[in-house]
Structure 1
């Protein structure tokens, strides 16, 4: 456990990952976020620094986790003209956990090599509570020998892992995961919305769904919330729109048309346009139940 660890991006996922590694005995030396208050609060909790500069984060650690919102944020933390993570980065390992485009992961991988550093993808398919408990499911990509250097740390954070290949490949798999999840969520919302409009008891409908071909993981996680209109955010509609959009872009690159994904993306983009992007993805039911926001 001699590796010193830092985190860039300490929202609910990043903060809980940092807490988990601290609990496991790793030296968490620095945390950084554009929300200075969040970074300073977590730093006080963990007993570490909250540097104002990204270059100071790199200087404080051997392994730096990044959990940022989108490609632009990723490019900014690594390639900003004034301050970035690659300053003094020789020999450092960056583990990039956010759901971003495969292209940006490949771009940062190449930039890391030029800086004498290493970049590993660790795409997450889990919730905030899983991050805190060390029960993440991680899809990993990059160089196998670099992954081996941090595998013990990764194992403390996850119950399941899949190394899928070279740079960008884990991001591709994560895009597929979220594409299918979002399609299933949209389909469930439409099924429950139609059942409600027909006057069916939705508890009965959900039980029937669970015993038939209509069953799905999102029925378990989101079905009750759709009915009760309880959309506390675990995975936001805004992120669903982004991730389904990544899958749409990948399909365009290989010349495929994905009509279900296209329709789902438009639904989540509609949520964002209506000011509902901060709701959980289950909030897509607000567009399909009669008399709600649609």
Structure 2
């Protein structure tokens, strides 16, 4: 446990990842967030620093986890003028956990390599509670030797991992995961919405779905919330629109038409336009049940 660790982006996922590694005996030396009060509060909790400069975060640790929201944020922390993580990164390892485009992961990988550092993708397919409990599922990409070097840290954070390949490859697979998940969520919302409109008991319909070809992981995680209109956010509609959009851009790049994905993107963008983007993805049911927002 000799490697020191820092975090950039300490919202609910990043903060709980930091707490988990602290509990496992790792030295968390610095945390940073664009919303500074979040960083200072977590720094007080963990007993570490909260530098105002990204360069100081990189200087404070051997391994720097980044958990940011989109390509623009990723580009800012690594390539921002005046201050960024690549000022003096020699020997550092960056583990980038955000769901962003494969292209930005490749840009960061090449820039880090040219600066004498390492960059890995650690795409996550898990919830906030999994981050706190060390039960993440991680899709990894980059240099396999670097992955093996940091594996002891990753093992404390996750119940399973899959090394997928070179830079950008884990981001591609994560986009596919979220694309299929979002399509399934939209389909489930339409099925339950139609069942409700036909006057069926929705508990019965959900039980029948669970025993037939209509079964899915989102039936387990989202169906009760759709019926009860409880959409506390674990994975927001805004993020669903973004992530399915990443998959759409990938499809365009290889000349594929994905009509189900395009329809799903349109639904989640409609949620955003109605001011519902902060709801959990289960909130897509607000567009399919009669008498709601549709």
TM-score range, shorter chain: over 0.9
Cα deviation, residue 87, structure 1: 1.2
Runs (5+) with no aligned partner, structure 1: none
Does residue 275 (structure 1) correspond to residue 271 (structure 2)? The answer is no
For the pair 1:234 / 2:207, whether they are aligned, the reply is no
* Separation in 2, partners of 1:149, 1:215: 39
Gaps of at least 5 residues in structure 2 are: none
CA distances 1:70-126 after superposition (whole Å, capped 9, x unpaired): 000000000011100011100100000010000000010001011111000000000
**Is residue 21 of structure 1 aligned with residue 21 of structure 2?**
yes
What is the number of residues matched between the two proteins?
Answer: 294
Q: Secondary structure of the equivalent of 1:163?
A: strand
The residue that corresponds to 2:63 in the other structure is 63
Displacement of 1:25 in angstroms is 0.4
Partner in structure 2 of residue 80 of structure 1: 80
Q: Could you tell me how far 1:148 is from its partner in structure 2? A: 1.1
- Counterpart CA distance in 2 for 1:227 and 1:189 is 9
Correspondence list, 1:1-294, <5 A: 1-294=1-294
Describe the SS at the equivalent of 1:81.
coil
**How big is each residue's C-alpha offset from its partner over 1:50-85, in whole Å with a ceiling of 9 and x where there is no partner?**
000000000100000000000000000000111000
How far apart are 1:254 and its partner, in Å? 0.3
Tell me, what secondary structure is at the counterpart of 1:153? helix
Alpha-carbon distance in structure 2 between the residues aligned to 1:40 and 1:101 = 29
| Separation in structure 1 between the aligned mates of residue 92 and residue 190 of structure 2, nearest angstrom | 47
Residue aligned with 1:207, SS: helix
Q: Aligned partners of 2:38 and 2:200: how far apart in 1?
A: 45
1:75 counterpart SS class: helix
Structure 1 residue 150 displacement after superposition: 0.4
Q: CA deviation at 1:149?
A: 1.1
Give SS of 1:137's match: strand
**CA distance in structure 2 between the partners assigned to 1:276 and 1:30 by the alignment:** 34
Three-state SS of the structure 2 residue aligned to 1:30 is strand
What's the offset of the Cα at 1:249? Answer: 0.2
Q: Which secondary structure state, in structure 1, belongs to the residue aligned with residue 112 of structure 2?
A: helix
Shift of 1:46: 0.2
Deviation string, structure 1 residues 158-180 (Cα, Å, up to 9, x no partner): 00100000000000000000000
Q: Deviations over 1:114-155 (max 9, x none)?
A: 111100000000000000000000000000111111000001
CA distance in 2, matches of 1:87, 1:150: 22
- Deviation by residue 1:25-58 (Cα, 9 ceiling, x = unmatched): 0000000001111000000000000000000000
